Structure 1
């Protein structure tokens, strides 16, 4: 079996070198490898047991049956010509159908493969069917209060070709994945974990993150892959028999040295880190030390603008590593008005691909006389949204400071609106999608998203005139970009951030509580 897998991998690499897409479906009824190329017909490949005689028709008959199954399961390719190849480990056979390892290396398998134009639609449909690891079974939350929500939701369901390429590429050592909010960094990580697990069921694949509340969501994306594990860094390090400081860079560096002196055992075949900008360099170095070389490598996803806890020198952990930098440029989550508002919060922010973001409703700026009145305005708005058939679980209320939570919860309770207050201490019990409005701090909301977000307390954030204040300023940026379709920002006084947002008349609307609300709201 190992020799069969080796020949399959060898063939897939030969295709990759020629710029072709080679897929290895984990479905026994389909061919072992299916090769796609827009300039040729489809190529179906099977790897047979080396004990089968070259003249035995069993191999070719089996492949014909698999091709028939593939055509039945993917009707769009029923009329496309399917070229056959059978690989035989250890065989010295040479031919256009039956091939040995030397034939693969020599490129003989290309002979007799006709050049035929294949539609992009057919190729995309085949790719979607052959790569279930790159699709997610989540039911998209359908917004009902703005016309473009359905189309935007459809665009978020399946990885695009750029994202799929990243998820399935060979990473020799370390790859850094960067991109604007909502560009699919987390989904690419999860898709890569699933793809690696599907093709390497004996590997140990680890996803790490900083935010405890992000763990249940990440687990939900890979739950059908038992060899993919998800954990915060702290729990992962303790499971390895080590303990690193989780709040101070100098102490974490000292703890790392102690761990190195004791010895760190490589236990992982592939490493994926989400929200990497929140990792201290010592954590990354420790995680690298647990990684077996020449396997799946490490993929680290992050966005420096979303660093809320410290401005650590992440690159320090990359010294002496072979690093590949990858950029995602297409934002899918947020609408263009939401991204324009997020970008306007600080001149230092630049959102890549903002002009390609989907259109949507302007961002609502709601003035209220006090923080308590802000909470009343939010609760009234939620009530109106629910009356307009918006679901409870589509709504997130994010506060910039914990002290604002009480007023928000009290206002929701006064209007009999079901809600749940989510804290990091309850991360293990957190389930997204329950019938209740979610109330949480922006820090806890990292990695999550909602169709509608109410951001409360923006005016209380300090001006970004020092390094520490700049991090607090990013709270507004992170909070705003948790919204997919609609963003409502409440405030009680003018300030640095509100001045900037009011200068965006094409992307914002201004309201006053309670004057602009229906009577009795």
Structure 2
């Protein structure tokens, strides 16, 4: 079964388009991508198919009947419209071919996608082709009316060739015909890699771009070619989610590391593309997360459709996206105190107060919002657009919020929800380690569901990306703990080449009556020659947070929500659950959040005792026993 973007075809599609969509989805191989009416650099071909052993094929779909066709030649067709008028149009074959070359010309600008030597030098390194699909005409119709005189049978599909219910339908013939719809007649010797396909997606769909390493354009046969490396594009599931959210109110529930914030940012960019005049607001709870989203949006918006065009100032000026943490927005934009929100909501409802409306509002970490916050936000949403997107993960909920979106927003989310259940951020080892802990310690573990929307918490599915087992470090003093952590950072930097800007130290408690943990940690990092930035020192340090400043970040777990780093060190776990916090559920969620910030390396350390350290003591004992058993087997 092929992967389709979008997952389902729009209800207004023609019956023929729906039939072809289902057939391609059901009968093409699993590693093929089928795009329906994608918006590609200003054009909308009906179908685009990309496959590792196929290359790229563009299909034009027509629902012409025998009575529709009047006078035909290779390039121009005279057809009879539904009103009986004769209309001149390009032949479907020519339309498909022009759309194909529109895509090919964009892809040919990337040196990595070209063949640079041999017979097909300067061509793409994979085949590209086009064809037409006639959903209401059969092969018999084509023969009787001599249509194959102007339509190449190898570059066309008829209804009986795409309809599985037709007795003459053959899956093998369908696939074989698509594999041969090429103007450049060669087959791939080696299948396209994931990197190749990501590069194709990166060029054709600017909205899926995350980042790439650009090298100076290089001259080749009197033209300049891009040289892109380390291309990062959204996963297909994330792309589908961003494109399929649709209009009006939507809810996305996702596990930690599933790319919820990325989907939200991509959605904001798509909205500005479709509605350049819209005023868009993105809200979240944390100051540090709002800065991170702001930087992500700035990067996305300065990513030009034409990669040779780097007029960043112009691109930044185009959009009207505001990114705020809730309390800053409340203070500076709404000019209201939190305790006065109910009064403000009432005044807005009675038309006694006037505040600017937003055409779209997107809320990240929605599980942390109070009901009255949603009420206020809803009053400032343009009633004509109703474009409200909520993104949440209840396993990361650290504040007690009453859940009733219908009451809070006045909008019904039933049938308007999507789930992101695959964790892309963490290695499989980190996902399992964090989820095992959460299930062992959380009082909500019985509310966990796999995928259904009627449950409370979504169990994460890890990707196949493997890595190191998370480390557990137990010492007899915090001084030793901080010393070892600093040395491990230096080791990762020198031996694994991990930038210090990709390292994060998380703490639960800043200081107690007998110990200033941050002071001790900073002293040990200075001794090791490591530069650091205390992200949560004060509100100003949160606002000035820059991810890529070549410094290790030190933060509370709360302020790390939505962020990720290659290596994460969670210190002083013996202060969890915190003695002044009687909500153990919140503490379990906090530690789960902290663990899932780590993309590659995770280290937990402690020098005292608590309910959580007892769990990790048990885990270390299990590892030791397992290692002993393995040694005995070897001997």
TM-score using structure 2 length: 0.62
Partner of 2:75: none
Deviation per residue, 1:134-185 (Å, 9 max, x gap) = 2211669xxxxxxxxxxxxx8x943233222221125343222112110111
1:168 to 243, 246, 251: 243
Are 1:380 and 2:472 an aligned pair? Answer: no
Deviation at 1:507, TM superposition (A): 9.2
Aligned partners of 2:45 and 2:96 also within 8 Å? no
Aligned partners of 2:396 and 2:593 also within 8 Å? yes
Aligned partners of 1:26 and 1:198 also within 8 Å? no
2:105 to 72, 90, 101: 72
Aligned partners of 1:209 and 1:215 also within 8 Å? yes
In 2, Cα distance between the equivalents of 1:354 and 1:112? Answer: 40
Over the residues paired in the alignment, what is the CA RMSD in angstroms?
A: 4.1
Query: After the TM superposition, which residues 169-318 of structure 1 pair with which residues of structure 2 at under 5 Å, given as runs?
Result: 169-223=244-298, 224=301, 226-238=319-331, 240-245=333-338, 252-261=341-350, 262-263=352-353, 267-293=357-383, 295=385, 297-313=387-403, 315=405, 316-318=407-409
Aligned partners of 2:508 and 2:572 also within 8 Å? yes
Which sits farther off after the overlay, 487-496 or 35-44?
Answer: 35-44
In 1, Cα distance between the equivalents of 2:126 and 2:359? Answer: 36
In 2, Cα distance between the equivalents of 1:374 and 1:494? Answer: 14
Query: After the TM superposition, which residues 7-406 of structure 1 pair with which residues of structure 2 at under 5 Å, given as runs?
Result: 14=13, 19=21, 21-25=35-39, 27-28=41-42, 31-33=43-45, 35-36=47-48, 42-43=58-59, 55=88, 67-74=100-107, 75=124, 78-83=127-132, 115=162, 116-117=174-175, 127-137=201-211, 157-223=232-298, 224=301, 226-238=319-331, 240-245=333-338, 252-261=341-350, 262-263=352-353, 267-293=357-383, 295=385, 297-313=387-403, 315=405, 316-323=407-414, 324-343=416-435, 344-345=437-438, 346-347=441-442, 348-349=444-445, 352-354=459-461, 356=463, 358-388=465-495, 389-403=497-511, 404-406=517-519
Distance 1:492 1:138, change over 3 A: farther
Structure number with the higher strand fraction is 2
Query: Size of the alignment, in residue pairs?
Result: 452
Deviation at 1:203, TM superposition (A): 2.1
Distance 1:414 1:237, change over 3 A: same
Which consecutive unaligned segments of at least 5 residues does structure 1 have?
1-9, 46-52, 86-109, 141-153, 511-521
In 1, Cα distance between the equivalents of 2:566 and 2:608? Answer: 27
Distance 1:331 1:470, change over 3 A: same
Which sits farther off after the overlay, 262-271 or 329-338?
Answer: 262-271
Aligned partners of 1:463 and 1:496 also within 8 Å? no
Deviation at 1:73, TM superposition (A): 2.8
Deviation at 1:236, TM superposition (A): 3.2
Distance 1:63 1:337, change over 3 A: closer
Are 1:415 and 2:427 an aligned pair? Answer: no
Deviation per residue, 1:296-353 (Å, 9 max, x gap) = 7222111122122433435341455344221111111112332233221414355623
Deviation at 1:293, TM superposition (A): 3.9
Partner of 2:548: 433
Deviation at 1:501, TM superposition (A): 2.6
Deviation per residue, 1:216-239 (Å, 9 max, x gap) = 221222222623321222333455
Which consecutive unaligned segments of at least 5 residues does structure 2 have?
1-8, 22-33, 62-85, 108-123, 135-156, 163-173, 180-190, 215-229, 302-315, 449-457, 512-516, 626-635
What secondary structure is seen at the aligned counterpart in 2 of 1:430?
Answer: coil
Distance 1:64 1:474, change over 3 A: closer
In 2, Cα distance between the equivalents of 1:338 and 1:11? Answer: 38
TM-score using structure 1 length: 0.74
Distance 1:340 1:322, change over 3 A: closer
Aligned partners of 2:252 and 2:417 also within 8 Å? yes
Partner of 2:574: 459
Aligned partners of 1:364 and 1:508 also within 8 Å? no
